[in-house]
Amino acid sequence: MATTNDIKNGTVLKLDGQLWTVLEFQHVKPGKGGAFVRTKIKNVTTGKLVDKTFNAGLKIETATVDKSDMQYLYQDGDDYVFMDNSTYDQILIPASVVGDAKNFLLENGNATVAQNEGTVLYIELPASIITVITYTEPGLQGDRSSAGTKPATIETGYEIQVPLFLEVGTKVKVDTRDGSYLGRVND
């Protein structure tokens, strides 16, 4: 147990049997009345955002979230197999927990896996990955300076928008948050 004075960004609270991560907090002392803490919290499992206000000094329950660096190995049916980099233990993570991160999971790629009491809550990918274009329509000669884009499929099977001059086999850097093209990578 903790009090509302202990709230910080990243703290995980247990409210009504659900886990919520604190994104923003503000301690407020109005001229009249008691102090309070205004927070913006995000449900760990559903991603729902909520604004919640707590009275100052109120007892709240916090949850321990263990984050560990893991390596993605392969997909097994609807599950994704990860290996802990320090203990070499393998765990299965269901597709529902992996979510859209599957679009950027490269075999042997690293991710941070957050767990609470043995239950996987979510996975965090690095901000960007380097991958290879596996399919795209041929570009037009002389199209090197125009700002046009075309669809291209990367190693994971996900489709991104790339400049017209890129070809199959080109290494590119991709933002894992929104799938945007960040640039070409030279060997």
Residue 164's pLDDT is what?
A: 84
Which residues does 7 contact at the CB level (< 8 Å), separation at least 6? 13, 22, 25, 37, 39, 54, 60
Q: Are 163 and 133 in contact (CB under 8 A)?
A: no
pLDDT digits 0-9 by tens, 111-160: 999 888 888 888 889 999 999 999 988 866 555 555 678 899 999 999 99
Please give the model's pTM, rounded to 2 decimal places. 0.72
* Confidence band for 45, pLDDT divided at 50, 70 and 90: confident
Which residues does 185 contact at the CB level (< 8 Å), separation at least 6? 130, 171, 172, 173
- Give Rg (Cα) of the chain: 22
Look up residue 84 and give its two tokens.
């802990």
Domains of the chain: 2-60 (2.30.30.30), 66-124 (2.40.50.140), 128-184 (2.40.50.140)
Which residues does 97 contact at the CB level (< 8 Å), separation at least 6? 120, 121, 122, 123
Q: Are 165 and 136 in contact (CB under 8 A)?
A: no
